[in-house]
Copies of this chain bind each other. A is one copy, B any other.
Amino acid sequence: MSDLLERLRARGWRMTSQRRVVAEVLAGEHVHLTADEVHARAVARLPEIARATVYNTLGELVAIGEVVELSTDGRAKRYDPNAHHAHQHLVCSNCGLIRDVHPTGDPLTVLPPEERFGFTVSKADVTYRGLCPACA
């Protein structure tokens, strides 16, 4: 976690208390929080932090590749701090629980050239869906 703070400092980020708190919230637990959840946890540590600041910081973290943005349900985007290990997501269709998973092989290889329609394909996001043990 201070890892992340180090990397941000190395990138020339001005280290404000707000940015520190957002980075700490994300680094603290490997779950997939919405922006509002990040804000709620941040407020617990720094009551005056504004919603817009959380959105700005999350957007910047995504832009530099420290955090991955995912929208598994078309509602609020979620932020995944586990950006340095390629993985996909397994989502419970009932309760929304999300787990990081690691399929075998590279999902890009199964898309043959004639199915790429001239696109330069750079990545594949896979969302596995089903029921978690508690909902099944």
Q: List residues of chain A with CB under 8 Å of any chain B CB.
A: 69, 71, 73-74, 77, 90, 92-93, 99, 101-105, 107-108, 110-112, 115-133, 136
Residues of chain B within 8 A of A105, CB atoms compared: 110
- Check A103–B110 contact: CB distance below 8 A: yes
Give bound CA distance, A126 to B99, whole Å. 16
Question: A25 to chain B: closest CB distance in Å?
Answer: 20
- Check B74–A121 contact: CB distance below 8 A: no
- Check B101–A118 contact: CB distance below 8 A: no
Question: A69 to chain B: closest CB distance in Å?
Answer: 7
Question: A32 to chain B: closest CB distance in Å?
Answer: 13
Residue from B74, B102, B116 within 8 A of A115 (CB atoms): B102
- Check A121–B115 contact: CB distance below 8 A: no
Give bound CA distance, A71 to B121, whole Å. 19
